[in-house]
Structure 1
Amino acid sequence: MSSSLGKLRAAILIVSETATRDPTTDKGIPALKEVFARVAGDKWDVVETKIVPDQKQAISDAVKTWTDDSVDDGYVNLVLTSGGTGFTQKDVTPEAMAPLIHKHAPGLVHAMLAASLRVTPFAMMARPVAGVRNKSLIITLPGSPKGAKENLEAILPQLAHACQQAAGADSRTLHVGGTRKLEQDAGLKSLSTPQDTSVHQHHHHSHSQGHGHSHGQGGHTGPRAHTKPEDRPMSNDPAAGPTKRYRDSPYPMLAVDDALRLIAEQTPEPTVMRVPVNDKLVGCVLAEVIRAREAVPAFRASIVDGYAIVVGAAQTAPSKKGIFPVTGVSHAQAGEASELKTGEVARITTGAPLPLGATAVVMVEDTVLRSMTDDGKEEKEIEILTDAIESGENVREVGSDVKQGEIIMREGDGVTAVGGELGLLASVGTKEVLAYRRPIVGVLSTGDEIVPHDRPEGLRLGEVRDTNRPTLLTGIRGSGFEAVDFGIVSDKPGALETALRNALRQVDVLVTTGGVSMGELDLLKPTIERQLGGTIHFGRVSMKPGKPTTFATIPVKPNDASDREKGVVFSLPGNPASAVVTYHLFVLPALQKMAGFAAPRGLPRVKVVLGQDVKCDGKRAEYHRVVVVAREDGLLYASSTGFQRSSRIGSFKGANALLCLPAQDKWLKKGDKAEALLMGRIISEL
């Protein structure tokens, strides 16, 4: 039944036509092995793996080889198949498995479907099979490595007990100590407790210490968090009621720098796409080195309006001066230039190609007209008034601006609307480039008390106009990113879960405001953790304004063809000033990283001179709204916008910077220098 190390034996069967032809394309076996090692490595050995095509006989033969006692050292305890469980005509794994099953296990099927349905409603299209053959447990998993991992994570802690029972172990011996002992041995935390006053306390402990296994459906079926449970305490459980809610936040208070480090670690790396060289490229960061396909200019061109002439090094100075016949015209348009001979000149316009043989251009200002053609429409002869013209004068040589093959832009360079990068790329014939995809950002406000800011009716008691959403949408677009408006979402748990799930299928980053404090209706954190299987990386920051700021990642299945596996969520405080400050401080650097910025630092930092005394907070870093001006002495001066309460959006009127005040119990005096984050243009008083 087990190996020499006392571990249970598992086998993995991949059902895939593609992987059968090229095993190197398979990602299922390493993904499932990783789950065994991470979740229950002390209990399992993966002793057999195989890849077969989507054929019932091939699938059936492989499974029977492992379950019918013909493997070295005996049968395997667990057979996992991955693939072939969908609705296409070639999906035949359930049909191959069903005749092999002696005892069906509908509970395992239900647990896997429940776990998948928490990620996507399309999980209802799966057709899993689970049951016992002889002394082996057989389970079919989805073909997607991500889906297979999610399903296995949901049930693996219970499988050791199931396999021991299937192998014939004495049931009474296995159940000594009761269900709670089984859960403890499996590393599970029960949601059921005796009916006493400790029920809610036990429930909170279950979530904080067993975060990887405790997301509904008996506490054992949700997506598993890939972080240390002891470092990720869970939020209030809304089901516990207000009398059992926390009186102090379970989340540690992080310093701003620590929060920024976590954001940098958990924010996904940028993805690359091919972009045409047009206005869609503006705002993007290049993901490759660009070399010039063509020289600029591609021909010898005049840089002035005048006359092309032939000037040789052997010619004497007086030969450049005198009266010359005008034998041709060269305009700045496509065409063929005639050959120019010594003693002739050709009228030429700025940017036009030099005639063959021409070596210099004399400016029209250095000439006079001496005669015209008989019809008076053309110049016949002109006089050059100077003998100082040298070979190559007023001529742009081929490649003098950009040489063919020369590096014109590098990976990490940005394409701005005013910097000329688009023109440079276009000038050398670049048609498309590899660039980092800019993340798409969703914004929603939460709360039953929130009403649209432009609703014509007056406010009823308790209602608040939604200022955060339009403010954040404007800020995100002003930062150069696409923003999607998801409106206002109710505080009701089901509505919030649905809104978050739908939004994360459409965007890379979701910014929410409100619902992150300690109230019984502050549901963002519990919804992220309990309903969506997300990981909250921090839930409080030692700063003002913005202490309840929350940063999380949630497993997703996007609507588009991208392969991203997690969505990023910033849940910002509901107070307007807090939302704006925390967007600039935390969200913007994450967006810059995902967009491929070489140094995603958020807002630029400058040194400013204080225009008045400012009191620091002894416990928390503060971001004070100020107006920064440039004066004649070359220094930048900062003046406070006044009262700084976090609910006071008026403190941002005219503000173009955030003064960074350290967590120190002291005053900064007028004339002292401090650091500020620039949100807008510096006002000049020069």
Structure 2
Amino acid sequence: MSTPLKAAILVVSTTAAKDPSTDAADAALRDVFAQDGGAHWAVAESRIVSDVTVDIQRQITLWADAADPVNLVVTTGGTGFAVVDNTPEAVSVLLHKHAPGLVHGMLTASLAVTPFGAMSRPVAGVRNQTVIITVPGSPKAARENLQAVIKTLPHACLQAAGANSRALHAGGVKKLEQEAGVSPTGPQSHTHAHSCGHSPLVRHTTAPKSNDPSLGPSRRHRASPYPLLPVPAALALITQHTPPALAPILARVGPSLVNAVLAQDIRAAENVPAFRASIVDGYAVVVPPSGGKISGVFPVVGVAHAAAAATATAGGGEAVLREGEVARSTTGAPLPRGATSVVMVEDTVLVAEEGGEETEVEILAEEGGVVRAGENVREVGSDVREGEVVLRKGERVSAVGGEIGLLASVGVAEVSVYRRPVVGVLSTGDEIVEHDREGELRLGEVRDTNRPTLIAAARDWGYEVVDLGIAGDKPGSLEETLRDALRKVDLVITTGGVSMGELDLLKPTIERSLGGTIHFGRVAMKPGKPTTFATVPVKNNAGEKVSKVIFSLPGNPASALVTFHLFVLPSLHQMSGVSPPGLTQVPVTLAHDFPLDKSRTEYHRAIVSVGADGVLTATSTGGQRSSRVGSMKAANALLCMAPGLEPLRKGAKAEALLMGNIRRDV
């Protein structure tokens, strides 16, 4: 086929029609055309319409009834059972011929992934010379459905466009299968031989799949199907698939604002200072228009204290200072009207007093008695002008207090900040028991170390945490626990259950039961190799589809804490608006020899301290076995150690990721 077939994509989503950035299905379908279409396709056009029957039909007929129609229309979205899911009904009445075989192929693909594939209502057929198919709105399901039929669609489109059927079928079915790149073992050519020697599993996606618990222990993988990614590649996937900063909320200025990230520029609501104020204890004076020479004895006609409405004359009225008069003024007090400058009390001598109050002072002005206008005076707005930007969007409110103090000083009582994600922490495994359960452990039982540790770590970084408890190694129970968690929180952290055993059910539950996407399932690092990052599509309270994040961390305590700081924290930062996300990296000098792993990058738990010479040095916390939670005791950094055969020697340089405050050598 010399000329590519023209395809059009129609996204049916009221949400995406309002905000196209929320749609991911279009990109997923384009990816299938590019990777699985065998150069047969060109995506000529794509559109987004609301879940409205007339809008769906109008766009399809524009493509199919044109003088030069597209060969294929793929709609995505609106194929479920929701009240607004109208796509199958809208498309069905447009079809001149129905194609139940294509529907069967798509449903077979969905059912091979999850029994809930039966909840999709695909429609397929031909209008004029255009083939039309409908796929679900979930990017993952849309990809799987299109992949299920993509190899056979060129043949269908050519026939619909009027090609000679006899010529197309010359050579028989075998020739058609060969040209399309399909085999009779399944709808597509994505099959792979199972490592244990059984008949090949039918695969409808190019992404790796976790174990299928329903197949039993003998059919589970003997080796992980997930590629071993380097840490930078894993971090890039986290950046790509973590939702952007959450919707802003209004927050009161106060201590609870610590760690919040501003969602907009903040402008001063008023001048600081709001009045002309003295910056010293002394005497307000009036510089004469003829010059600034002031010396001699002056009557004290008033007093100005740093208190509201405290500026008054000796007779009790408002002080209006005139040339030849002075008024006592304390630091921060508003100047009397007419005052131009303030002479420090140290440059005066008391001459007379009456009833405990000063009545006359002598000003001892040097340099010929010259006092300049504006001396020792803070002018209105000299610190901050009303309307001036005092803090920028994206800045983080620290616990030091400077940002809160600045906001308070300029009269800002409420600011827009990004909502901080709520974190859920779940431990998994039948062997896990509460850490504070009384009595001795039975054979095989393990106290839950990870959950309280990770809850403490997340709270220390300023995030609200929901304790999700312990889930046993039962698929239904784990699925229900995760579904409930995803309704309550923005990000779920689980520990355990991510390795290769028959009871390691987290990956299958995420993929097969929740319809999630595992973006990586192994990382080339030590500790933390089985770390898993996934996203799951869910509907929020407004009925909109959103993506929730799941991090499944290893069960070993040190591994869980290392991977929390290395992977989970950057994801939380991204959702919070923190930039740049992740731990701060600094160069350090090794205080002693450090052994290296021969094949994997190691994140060595260490204590970074600063000496009297200002040099940052790193000391190991001891044995680094991943199950040794003591290796995290007192650790404030992770040393990034590339693999090698020889140790890094004392005095060598390394990069440290800071988890806490730098210590001071004593």
On whether the aligned pair clears a TM of 0.5, the verdict is yes
Pair 1:676–1:309, CA change in 2 (3 A): same
**CA distance, structure 2, for counterparts of residue 578 and residue 197 of structure 1:** 30
**CA distance, structure 1, for counterparts of residue 26 and residue 662 of structure 2:** 54
Query: Are 2:627 and 1:651 equivalent residues in the alignment?
Result: no
**CA distance, structure 2, for counterparts of residue 328 and residue 425 of structure 1:** 31
**CA distance, structure 1, for counterparts of residue 76 and residue 236 of structure 2:** 39
Residue of structure 1 equivalent to 2:326? 345
1:184 is displaced (CA, Å) by 1.9
Query: Are 2:433 and 1:455 equivalent residues in the alignment?
Result: no
1:188 is displaced (CA, Å) by 2.3
Query: Are 2:600 and 1:620 equivalent residues in the alignment?
Result: yes
Q: Deviations over 1:419-445 (max 9, x none)?
A: 411222332344555544433332211
Aligned residue pairs total 643
1:652 partner letter: M
Match of 2:462 among 462, 472, 480: 480
Residue of structure 1 equivalent to 2:642? 662
Q: Deviations over 1:342-378 (max 9, x none)?
A: 1223343432221111012244564548333xxx4x8
Whether the aligned pair in 1 keeps the contact of 2:610 and 2:662 (CA below 8 Å) is yes
1:265-280 matches, within 5 Å, as: 265-271=240-246, 273=248, 275-276=250-251, 278-279=253-254
Residue of structure 1 equivalent to 2:540? 559
Match of 2:149 among 141, 153, 158: 158
1:8-87 matches, within 5 Å, as: 34=30, 37-38=33-34, 40=37, 72=67
Match of 2:341 among 351, 356, 360: 360
Which stretch of structure 1 is more off in the superposition, 330-339 or 185-194? 185-194
Where 1:400 maps in the other structure, the secondary structure is: coil
1:549 is displaced (CA, Å) by 2.0
Pair 1:524–1:670, CA change in 2 (3 A): same
1:155 is displaced (CA, Å) by 5.2
1:548 partner letter: P
Where 1:556 maps in the other structure, the secondary structure is: strand
2:357 partner letter: E
Pair 1:485–1:105, CA change in 2 (3 A): farther
Where 2:644 maps in the other structure, the secondary structure is: coil
Where 1:495 maps in the other structure, the secondary structure is: helix
Query: Are 2:569 and 1:588 equivalent residues in the alignment?
Result: yes
Pair 1:453–1:123, CA change in 2 (3 A): farther
Q: Deviations over 1:41-64 (max 9, x none)?
A: 866678899999998789889988
Where 1:547 maps in the other structure, the secondary structure is: coil
Whether the aligned pair in 2 keeps the contact of 1:412 and 1:598 (CA below 8 Å) is yes
Residue of structure 1 equivalent to 2:620? 640
**CA distance, structure 2, for counterparts of residue 522 and residue 575 of structure 1:** 14
Where 2:399 maps in the other structure, the secondary structure is: coil
Query: Are 2:206 and 1:236 equivalent residues in the alignment?
Result: no
Q: Deviations over 1:499-548 (max 9, x none)?
A: 33443444443222111222222222333334444443433333322222
Residue of structure 2 equivalent to 1:409? 391
**CA distance, structure 2, for counterparts of residue 519 and residue 293 of structure 1:** 61
Q: Deviations over 1:109-149 (max 9, x none)?
A: 9967996999999997x98766788998776678xxx4599
**CA distance, structure 1, for counterparts of residue 586 and residue 353 of structure 2:** 66
Q: Deviations over 1:70-126 (max 9, x none)?
A: 7647998768597698776x98777767777786959949967996999999997x9
Whether the aligned pair in 1 keeps the contact of 2:25 and 2:76 (CA below 8 Å) is no
Where 2:538 maps in the other structure, the secondary structure is: coil
**CA distance, structure 2, for counterparts of residue 510 and residue 662 of structure 1:** 30
1:385 is displaced (CA, Å) by 5.0
Query: Are 2:404 and 1:425 equivalent residues in the alignment?
Result: no
Residue of structure 1 equivalent to 2:173? 176
1:553 partner letter: A
Match of 1:492 among 466, 474, 478: 474
Residue of structure 1 equivalent to 2:188? 188
1:625 is displaced (CA, Å) by 2.8
Pair 1:302–1:237, CA change in 2 (3 A): same
Residue of structure 2 equivalent to 1:285? 261
1:607 is displaced (CA, Å) by 0.9
1:494 partner letter: G
**CA distance, structure 2, for counterparts of residue 52 and residue 684 of structure 1:** 61
**CA distance, structure 1, for counterparts of residue 139 and residue 663 of structure 2:** 57
Pair 1:367–1:568, CA change in 2 (3 A): farther
**CA distance, structure 2, for counterparts of residue 534 and residue 87 of structure 1:** 20
**CA distance, structure 2, for counterparts of residue 24 and residue 674 of structure 1:** 44
1:358 partner letter: A
Query: Are 2:286 and 1:301 equivalent residues in the alignment?
Result: no
Residue of structure 1 equivalent to 2:308? 333
1:620 is displaced (CA, Å) by 2.6
1:70-219 matches, within 5 Å, as: 72=67, 108=103, 146-147=137-138, 150=141, 154=145, 157-158=148-149, 164=156, 176-177=173-174, 184=182, 188=188, 198-199=197-198, 202-203=200-201, 206-207=202-203, 210=204, 212=205
Pair 1:564–1:394, CA change in 2 (3 A): farther
Pair 1:368–1:252, CA change in 2 (3 A): same
Query: Are 2:575 and 1:576 equivalent residues in the alignment?
Result: no
1:340 partner letter: L
1:605 is displaced (CA, Å) by 2.5
TM-score by length of 1: 0.75
**CA distance, structure 1, for counterparts of residue 196 and residue 617 of structure 2:** 60
Query: Are 2:610 and 1:630 equivalent residues in the alignment?
Result: yes
Whether the aligned pair in 1 keeps the contact of 2:298 and 2:324 (CA below 8 Å) is no
Whether the aligned pair in 1 keeps the contact of 2:596 and 2:641 (CA below 8 Å) is yes
2:429 partner letter: G
Query: Are 2:226 and 1:251 equivalent residues in the alignment?
Result: yes
Where 1:285 maps in the other structure, the secondary structure is: coil
1:454 is displaced (CA, Å) by 2.5
TM-score by length of 2: 0.77
Where 2:173 maps in the other structure, the secondary structure is: coil
Pair 1:555–1:28, CA change in 2 (3 A): closer
Q: Deviations over 1:11-67 (max 9, x none)?
A: 969798997xx9999989967984784565866678899999998789889988998
**CA distance, structure 1, for counterparts of residue 50 and residue 656 of structure 2:** 62
Where 1:667 maps in the other structure, the secondary structure is: coil
Query: Are 2:494 and 1:512 equivalent residues in the alignment?
Result: yes
Where 2:308 maps in the other structure, the secondary structure is: coil
1:650 is displaced (CA, Å) by 1.9
Whether the aligned pair in 1 keeps the contact of 2:5 and 2:71 (CA below 8 Å) is no
1:282 is displaced (CA, Å) by 2.6
**CA distance, structure 1, for counterparts of residue 626 and residue 24 of structure 2:** 49
Whether the aligned pair in 2 keeps the contact of 1:444 and 1:511 (CA below 8 Å) is yes
Whether the aligned pair in 1 keeps the contact of 2:114 and 2:512 (CA below 8 Å) is no
1:665 is displaced (CA, Å) by 1.7
Q: Which runs of 5+ in 2 are unaligned?
A: 312-317
Pair 1:121–1:344, CA change in 2 (3 A): farther
**CA distance, structure 1, for counterparts of residue 492 and residue 261 of structure 2:** 22
Which stretch of structure 1 is more off in the superposition, 54-63 or 360-369? 54-63
Residue of structure 1 equivalent to 2:511? 529
Whether the aligned pair in 1 keeps the contact of 2:249 and 2:417 (CA below 8 Å) is yes
Where 1:591 maps in the other structure, the secondary structure is: helix
Pair 1:417–1:565, CA change in 2 (3 A): same
Which stretch of structure 1 is more off in the superposition, 506-515 or 183-192? 183-192
**Identity in percent:** 47
Whether the aligned pair in 1 keeps the contact of 2:553 and 2:560 (CA below 8 Å) is yes
Residue of structure 2 equivalent to 1:443? 425
Whether the aligned pair in 1 keeps the contact of 2:248 and 2:418 (CA below 8 Å) is yes
**CA distance, structure 2, for counterparts of residue 123 and residue 245 of structure 1:** 25
Query: Are 2:587 and 1:600 equivalent residues in the alignment?
Result: no
